[in-house]
Structures are given as structure tokens and as C-alpha cells.
Amino acid sequence: MIDKNDGVDYPTPDLRKWKKDHEKLIKECLEGGKRLMFQFLTQQPKDAEIGRKIVKFLEQKGSLFMHIQYEVPQYVFESVKEIRTFLTTIQTQIEPESPLEIIVDSINHACRHFMNTTNWNMTNKEIAYGLYATRKIIGINLKDLEQKYNLKIDKPLADIMPN
């Protein structure tokens, strides 16, 4: 996106801020060794069903996959807030220390980070900085959810997942 127009719409200070925010988010999501423990935890029987509910909910959130130029910043912010509220509510049904809890915690943390570093009256360009990093973290967690619970995640939500 940046290279298509020789970076005209992306001044150096904006790119540096974007990089700094992204690195901070990735660091926060990876601290604590939760990802390292993931492979050793056992799956709870009801977790696959809860995972399906989460995927169905996220499939309805265009803020996760729509191009930012088509988004209204206030609605993006509210959508991320709704994701966080939904996940916080559903978390009470998940076994503590389960792989699903780790996935939900990570998505929730990414949403909280987005909400703490943006606000609804920012421009689309400003919102994009946090949203791209948030989408990346959610995509990584969706990939884990898909693999761990053998769930099918369709496009366009699947587009934010790593290959």
C-alpha cells in the first residue's frame, strides 16, 4: 500500500509511529510465555463449540477485514469495543488455563490495546495504524483457533490470518 504511490500518503513520522505501536503490541502479546505453553495444554470438550461461536461473531465484524477507506472511525472503535465485550462475556464459559482461554485473552488484549491507543474521532489514516496491528494479532489467534479446534474460517475473515 505504501509503495504503490511512493509513500506520498505516509510521511516518515507516521510510519515510525506505526512501527513503534506495532512492535509494542506484538511485544505485549508475546510476553509471559503464554504462546510457549499453548502446545502443552489439553483441549476441553466444549471449547470447540465456544470457538465456533467466536468465529461466527467475528465474521460479522467488518472492521476486521474491510478496507479502512470504507470504514467510519467511530464505527470501527465501537466494533472493536463490541468484540472485547463479547469475548469478556464468553470467557466465563472457558476453562481457566485452556488453549481457548489463551487465544481469547490474546484477542482481548489486542482489542484493549487498540482502544487505549485510538479514539473514534481520529482520521481513517490514524485509526489504520492500530487497526492493522490489531487485525494481525486477531488473525494469528484465528489461525490457532482453526488448527486447534479444526474450525473452518471463511473469507473475508480468513484473509487476516497468516498463511
pTM above threshold 0.85: no
Q: What is the pLDDT of residues 29-39, one digit of tens each?
A: 665 443 434 44
Q: How confident is the model at residue 99 (pLDDT cuts 50, 70, 90)?
A: very high
Domain ranges across the chain: 17-29+45-154
Amino acid, res. 16 = R
Whether residue 104 contacts residue 54, with contact meaning beta carbons closer than 8 Å, is answered with yes
State the pLDDT confidence band at 6, using cuts at 50, 70 and 90: confident
Rounded to whole angstroms, the Cα distance separating 160 from 163 reads: 9
Closest alpha carbon to 158 in 26, 64, 78:
64
Per residue in 21-31, pLDDT (tens digit) is 877 777 776 65
C-alpha cell at 118: 485510538
pLDDT-derived band at 89, boundaries 50, 70, 90: very high
Q: Is the pLDDT of residue 40 over 60?
A: no
pLDDT of residue 33: 40
> In this structure, are residues 101 and 42 in contact, taking their beta carbons and an 8 Å threshold?
no
Residue 37 vs residue 7, higher pLDDT: 7
Going from the C-alpha of 112 to that of each of 10, 42, 77, the distances in angstroms are 25, 27, 11
Measured CA distances, 142 to 8, 31, 65, 137 (Å)? 33, 19, 13, 9
Residue 86 neighbours by CB under 8 Å, 6+ apart? 54, 57
Q: Which tens digit of pLDDT belongs to each residue from 117-153?
A: 888 788 888 888 889 989 999 999 999 999 999 999 9
| pLDDT exceeds 90 at position 8 | no
42-78 pLDDT per residue, tens: 555 689 999 999 999 999 999 999 988 888 888 898 9
Cα three-residue angle 66-112-32, rounded to 5 degrees: 115
